[in-house]
Structure 1
Amino acid sequence: MTDLSVATCAGHLPDKRQVAVSFSRAAASYDSVAELQRDVGHALLARLPAGLAPQRWLDLGSGTGYFSRALAQQFPHREGLALDIAQGMLAYARPLGGATHFIAGDAESLPLQADSCDLIFSSLALQWCGDFAQVLSEAHRVLKPGGVMAFASLCVGTLSELRDSWRAVDGQVHVNRFREFATYQQLCADSSMRVLDLQSQPHVLHYAQVRQLTHELKALGAHNLNPGRPEGLTGRARLQALVSAYEQFRQPQGLPATYQVVYGILEKTR
């Protein structure tokens, strides 16, 4: 991955203000369609180092608080922080408990003191951050020596079937863009933390019809947020062309939607 590719990636990512608004609107519907998010988050929990016993943990990009509550169960009687950029998500999560504090904030500029957390847990949130190197720098600052950052994110290859089907219809940007896995590898290697584990794994969901997938993405707040996306409603003829193009991917289980998930475990050594 060249430096130019790394630098230009951020220009292809959504404006975080739009991300915050979109996920705030989706707060009430999110958990009803968050099968992938639950599966990935539980897989990330299972990857935490054995014997980890944080006095204070941070759920970074906490959303509806599902994993804040899971962390509270796994690490009882500890202080937990739930931080999200979407005020609507925090308002939804706060009455459900789990965390000790619910904080509005940005992963690239954490409103937390240095050396204040033992664990930063972040599942399927950091793909929306334009400057991942800054995310890692902030995590290093906030973690105590010996602290762990565990994250799950998305990379290139995510929703490839939907992207290719739209390409058969028109040349516009319909599917969110994500970083190359090689970019995650480079930025983690260049960070001030030790990489304990970093790998990419596909998660494949299946749908009976394309509209079930697109409805789910909207309910998650994760529909197309890219610069260059088409404005306004999509015409019936183009939607039918999308449906026809997607049919080439059909499997016995249904229409596949592949998510390329990056799992990373990093440790602050100093």
Structure 2
Amino acid sequence: MPDCSTSALPDKRQVAASFSRAASTYDAVAELQRAVGGRLLELLPAQTAPQRWVDLGSGTGYFTRALAARYPQAHGLSVDIAEGMLRHAREQGGALHFIGGDAERLPLRDGMSDLLFSSLAVQWCADLPAVLGEARRVLRPGGIAAFSSLCIGTLGELRQSWEAVDGFVHVNRFRAFEQYQQHCQGSGLEVLALRTEDRVLHFPDLRSLTHELKALGAHNLNPGRPDGLTGRERVRALIAAYERFRQPEGLPATYRVVYAVLRKT
């Protein structure tokens, strides 16, 4: 059954198009993505030694290459819904195959993988139970599904600042952590780890934050977002509202990250 918040999540075609456009700029501003994926790699069970792994939502292939280096004897598959990202990743190598595919309906055969790794992609999927069901399907017994995602609390400073300005949806919506708990526990996979960690980035000004979100392809993709240009008065009001959060290091942007490690029994 889809999440109750499905209608509030972005259309996957818009997600694919947005990230395809960001392929050439993504790596230059992906500090958070590298840190989160690196942490997810650290959480993999020490005995993990896959013969075949899948990097799901592989983006530019940064962790495709990291997995290839970590498991040099294994065969790797890179899967992403954004063709622009796949083209970019394919040029860098690291996987045996680069495949266009939807996490909710993977173009992979049953029981073909020992490790399904997915960092900061699941939050764009409306049907999390379907994603977990696909993970269970393509994993062999004993196989590991590890993912990182984002939940409510992410970009809270930006959301609150916009709420002080108008009633439109300007910040991407994310699931509650409780929904991740519910769906993981009901997935038929054994939950080895499931936790949240906050990561806070700092920016000198609001323009730097919004520029990074656009370069990542992760700017506002939600239904209910405003059409057209934002008026100057609203921008000034937003800047004033966000300045209330300023810290000595700069303007904070909090990302509430979900880490999950599951095993097929």
Which category of TM-score, normalised to the shorter sequence, fits these structures? Answer: over 0.9
- What is residue 73 of structure 1 aligned with on the other side? 69
Q: Is the 8 A contact 2:112 2:138 kept in 1?
A: yes
Q: Secondary structure at the match of 2:192?
A: strand
Superposed displacement of residue 78, structure 1 = 1.1
Find the residue that maps to 2:67 and give its secondary structure.
Answer: helix
- What residue is the counterpart of 1:85 in the other structure? 81
1:29 is paired with a residue of what secondary structure? coil
**Which of 42, 60, 70 pairs up with 1:46?**
42
Structure 1 residue aligned with 2:189: 193
Q: SS state of the match for residue 80, structure 1?
A: strand
> Which one of the candidate residues 14, 20, 23 is aligned to 2:19?
23
- Percent identical: 66
Partner of 1:174: 170
Q: Is the 8 A contact 2:59 2:82 kept in 1?
A: yes
Structure 1 unaligned residues grouped into runs of 5+: none
Structure 2 counterpart of 1:140:
136
Q: Could you say which residue in structure 1 is the equivalent of 2:180?
A: 184
Q: For 1:232-247, what aligned pairs fall within 5 Å after superposition?
A: 232-247=228-243
Distance 1:57 1:76 in 2: 11
Residue 224 in structure 1 maps to residue 228 in structure 2:
no
| 1:215 alignment partner, one of 211, 218, 243 | 211
* 1:8 partner SS: coil
Q: Does 1:123 align with 2:132?
A: no
For the residue of structure 2 that corresponds to 1:216, the secondary structure is helix
Report the AA paired with residue 28 of structure 2. Answer: S
Taking only aligned residues, the RMSD between alpha carbons, in angstroms, comes to: 0.9
Report the TM-score, using the length of structure 2 for normalisation.
0.99
The one-letter code sitting in structure 1 at the alignment partner of 2:235 is: L
Letter in 2 for 1:59: D
Q: Could you say what secondary structure the match of 1:81 adopts?
A: strand
Query: 4+ residue runs of structure 1 moved beyond 2 angstroms?
Result: none
SS at match of 2:54: strand
1:100 aligns with 2:105: no
* AA at the equivalent of 2:159: R
| Partner SS, residue 199 of structure 1 | strand
| Count, aligned residues | 265
Counterpart contact for 2:58–2:118, Cα < 8 Å: yes
User: How many Å apart are 1:8 and its aligned residue?
Assistant: 2.4
Matched position secondary structure for 2:252: strand
Give distance in 1, aligned partners of 2:3 and 2:62. Answer: 33
Q: 2:203 & 2:154 partners in 1: Cα distance? A: 16
Residue 151 (structure 2) pairs with residue 155 (structure 1): yes
Which residue number in structure 2 is paired with residue 60 of structure 1?
A: 56
SS of the counterpart of 1:73? helix
Distance 2:68 2:17 in 1: 27
Is 1:267 paired with 2:263? Answer: yes
Name the CA distance, whole Å, in 1 between partners of 2:127 and 2:73. Answer: 34
Find the aligned partners of 1:99 and 1:71 in 2 and give their Cα distance.
Answer: 9
1:7 and 1:59 map into 2 onto residues whose CA distance is 24
Cα distance in 2 for partners of 1:150, 1:259 equals 19
Distance in 2 of aligned mates of 1:217 and 1:235: 19
Contiguous gaps of at least 5 residues in structure 2: none
In the alignment, the residues of structure 1 paired with residue 95 and residue 237 of structure 2 have an alpha-carbon distance, to the nearest angstrom, of 46
Does the CA contact (< 8 Å) of 2:22 and 2:217 recur in 1? yes
- Which amino acid in 2 is paired with 1:267? R
Per the TM alignment, residue 236 of structure 1 is displaced from its structure 2 partner at its CA by: 1.1
SS of structure 1 residue aligned to 2:73: coil
The residue type paired with residue 103 of structure 2 is: A
